[in-house]
Structure 1
């Protein structure tokens, strides 16, 4: 029996994963990386900043052929972040996101929350910018509040505790295989979502392989499915 729907933010509600992506690929290429957009998305989407930064540093050291100094690693990561920030004015909600949220809000006795790898300050800005904050507040939770980021289950277990719902009664909507794995590890049901602008060919198969019970391609479909969730 589903008693709560927990949405990831980036790539499910807010189409942020695609923002500045091409510029990031160019930036990394200038530093010797051979990562294309698909590799970045398939490998790192859903990771908390510290996990991604560590992976970035490890690859940079392989390219350099020596350990990177803290200053070099910091400069590389901040340069990448700056490329994305430069395009933040292009941020939009994932098409139809509000429709899915409204469908859940119309149900009786179903809690809603957001559980994201993003820092709280960015969650606040993105959800408010896209007109979605008021649907969830105050139940918007960042992985910076827990010890381990996705694919560890910490953020989902923390969210379930805060909203007072048993993890087994939660359904998670996720666009990243790290997030799917985290939800599964938390003992929650999880559906994959591929309606974000960053979802390349094969993205749905990756989510299924990670453990998503269903994969939904658009919020029009997701809204219809969620609108029936209390009858399943």
Structure 2
């Protein structure tokens, strides 16, 4: 049962209450998305866990890499600490735990293992092509704004074929001083594309990303349909709502249908 705060607003962990449409409430979700789209001119997509189902691959690889560098964590701990964050976060963790600065060693070692798995395992999120086609048909601009490095994004675009949709409209945490949860990357992408934050929708799967979108003054659609949220969609949705998401969905087909309507 949800609680109410002193202002009478619904709070707590019930995503099916009046303020938090449940993931199975398709009509309510569609109505909310329709309202968000009314004054939307651009959509900013996170990449990992939103465009591609890469998080289970990268998190499992990171577990192995942290163990290699002497700073082990469980899969759940890695997911909780690093989902939506740039590579500086695990590098900092290793330095704190071991006293070693492995900044120059980390990426080559991590990427060698990760990219080998990408070639075999990486897949697009279901219906994401339909979402991008609907945005193009509706003449709503879109781009990628991701915590991933340029190198990792290039690999992702090549393996999945998604690069054809985005051309040079790909923004990496490499471009800014402060990564998510700071708003810098989203504000940089918006400014470079020539749009105002208030006309922007961000699509994010992580608390760090949603927090960054809210701090940037942008609307945010949370997405919990990636493989890293299997079996915990409602719990993940609550975390994104708590971070400030306007709506949370677990099916890109809903978004595609609303945009195309």
* Equivalent of residue 94 in structure 1, options 114, 125, 131: 125
2:146 equivalent to 1:140: no
| 1:108-187 → structure 2 map (5 Å cutoff) | 108=139, 110-187=140-217
**2:142, 2:137 → 1: CA distance?**
11
Residue of structure 1 equivalent to 2:251: 218
SS at match of 1:172: strand
**Cα RMSD (Å) of the superposition?**
2.2
* Equivalent of residue 14 in structure 1, options 49, 52, 63: 52
Aligned-pair CA distance for 1:222: 2.1
**2:61, 2:173 → 1: CA distance?**
26
Q: Is the 8 A contact 2:71 2:94 kept in 1?
A: no
Aligned-pair CA distance for 1:164: 0.6
Q: Is the 8 A contact 1:14 1:91 kept in 2?
A: yes
Q: Is the 8 A contact 1:21 1:84 kept in 2?
A: no
Change (3 A) 1:188 1:29: same
TM-score (norm 1): 0.84
**2:155, 2:108 → 1: CA distance?**
19
Q: Is the 8 A contact 2:43 2:200 kept in 1?
A: yes
Residue of structure 2 equivalent to 1:199: 229
2:88 equivalent to 1:50: yes
Aligned-pair CA distance for 1:36: 2.3
SS at match of 1:191: strand
Q: More deviation in 82-91 or 94-103? A: 82-91
The one-character-per-residue Cα deviations of 1:127-164 (angstroms, maximum 9, x if unpaired) are 23212112122211111111111111011000100111
SS at match of 1:129: helix
Q: Provide structure 1 residue ranges, at least 5 long, that are not aligned to the other structure.
A: 62-66
* Equivalent of residue 138 in structure 2, options 83, 86, 107: 107
| 1:32-51 → structure 2 map (5 Å cutoff) | 33=71, 35-51=73-89
**1:52, 1:105 → 2: CA distance?**
36
Aligned-pair CA distance for 1:118: 1.2
Change (3 A) 1:104 1:56: farther
Q: More deviation in 46-55 or 33-42? A: 33-42
**1:203, 1:5 → 2: CA distance?**
22
**1:186, 1:87 → 2: CA distance?**
34
Residue of structure 2 equivalent to 1:64: none
